[in-house]
A and B are shown apart, each in its own frame.
Chain A
Amino acid sequence: MFCPQCGASTPDNAVVCMQCGRNLQAAPPPPLQATPYQGAPLQAPGVILPPGATVPNYLVFAILTTVFCCLPAGIPAIVFAAQVNGKLQAGDLAGAQQASKNAKLWCLISLGLGLAVVVIWGLLVLAGVLTGISHQN
């Protein structure tokens, strides 16, 4: 199948276009007579994305927090980012959204730990400076 927005060729079961990120599930349905019985719909009932929406995988932020904040918490974020894309490729929209939430959660945990270290260090530096000043007097 081809993306209605950018025309890129995408796998038939793709949820989003691999090129431009357009949500292919919200594309206008093909004429009924062309697809009479194709089994269960890919999309779980009740899961409807607004047109053009995508499932973010937070990969960029996962790499950033892994490299700059906290390695142990960043690794799960990257693993969940991989899961998002893997599930999108498999057509599992609900699973991709769950993995997306987990990826975001681990990015935030990693960011929080990194910021905590920066804040603690800042307080230590401040304490050191104040001690230095009081010793000079």
Chain B
Amino acid sequence: MKKNIAFLIPFLIALLLAGCGTQQPQNAEEFRQAIPGAFMGKVETVEINRSFRDVAATWQKRAPECLNVTVRSTDTGSAGAHTVVAVYKPTVIAGKERAELHVQVDYKAGVLNVGTVPPGGYYRLVADAYPLEGSRTRLQWYGPSRGMDVVVKAIKSWASGENLGCPDLTKQ
């Protein structure tokens, strides 16, 4: 039973974001608007004791290196083998007043896509950084309350500069 539920998580998150007949978010702004009202949606804001410029530069360096990943998961249960192939795509947009990090996931196999899949895949997480006074940065992220924990942890760690390692995306 545990196995079956685990395999359904990506599908459930996509379904919950879609809502009852609602269109999937097709861009980062639509995702920001959809998440607060979505079941299992989460918005968190934290302040980082590091300059906005450094946060943006770290995201620009680490996100392409760590989040351009294809994860293949295979469950060999009693009903046979079931494989999910998820292609992660990060995008970083660094402006003067805001830096954005978008994470999209394109399910190439094993998941029934719900609604219109935006180019690059479903939006799974959007993180924004804003400059604050005193070389501090406000970090706000939008995403599911479960299922992207290692990515959220990595994005926060990159922002604070405490750990520049890559998240093990097989642990989602």
Are A and B genuine complex partners?
A: no
